[in-house]
Amino acid sequence: MRKKTAQYIREYKWSNIFAMIRNNRLDPKICTESFNNKLVVITGATSGIGYHAARKYAAHGASLLCINRNLQKSEALCREIESEFGVKCDYKIADLSNLQDIHQVADELLNLETPIDVLIHNAGVYLTKKELTPEGIEKVFVVQYLSSFIINYILKEKLKSQERARIIMVNSEGHRFAAWGLRLDDLNWERRRYSGLKSYGSAKLAQLLSMIVFNEHFKDTGVSINAMHPGAVKTETGQENGPVYRWYKRNFIDKTLKSPEISAEALYYLGVSKEVEFVSGKFFNLTTLEEPAPPALDKEVAYELWGKSLELSGLQDSKE
């Protein structure tokens, strides 16, 4: 670990930090192309970024399949989408902190007869205190990272057979909170003091590392996979925490944030625009290409994480 830390320190560049600060002020590029009769799958679509992304795609003619936890909110969302935009909206109920639910919904997506044109991994959670899933894995790591890994892995052959699809992972500049890299020997935070920012950053870093390997799997297949920072926008993330955190978020953090509609604009551009049709394996700040932190570019760790992720999720690596 010390060797990796020293390596990352040497690789950090002030120019990348200044670029991130500049990019944070930019508006997303706008795509006005239609997306009629295409299928878009979105996780966490009943509020925040996912909700506005669903409306954005529906407004341009896409059919939706939303993966959410709450049945009543899912039904209300689909009624709203279908009545307002005249497109088909369906949903599947899954708790993306539960490996059994993740596998089940991934298998259901695998068995769809309809091609998946865009797959958006948006569901997320932020916790100030450590929680474990029923399988004994740290919850933020599962929701923010392992759920997208499992779904991508199970769907990869289906997507490749389609010869065209785009995967977009709602990531974060927060991956920079894991400044010294991913601790594969302590993913459950048993040897370190748990921190909400650090656990969130580690999970987002893991997602970027997985993108390196998925991008190699998808090379020359017509399938792209990219990650994006959604901007400093107001979402429902963090509502699982205690009253003090919720009060602080409502009265201080939220008042500095923008509408998640800008994130939806970026997700539509990345999913539809011909300008990024052949771009893959990249990190965007909204729609601006950006170099992530050095730990997110480490291929050696990416492959170590790949093996660990297969083990944690109960998957067997296929022979490519």
Please identify every residue annotated as catalytic.
Answer: 200
Question: Could you tell me which residues come within 8 angstroms of residue 61 by beta carbon, excluding any fewer than 6 positions away?
Answer: 34, 35, 36, 37, 38, 85, 87
CA 281 to CA 260: how far, in whole Å?
24
Longest dimension (CA), the chain: 57
Radius of gyration of the chain measured on its C-alpha atoms: 18
Return the structure tokens found at 119: 């797959």
Contact 137, 122 (CB under 8 A): no
Classify 138 as helix, strand or coil.
strand
CA 8 to CA 295: how far, in whole Å?
6
Q: Which helix (H) or strand (E) holds 77?
A: helix 71-85
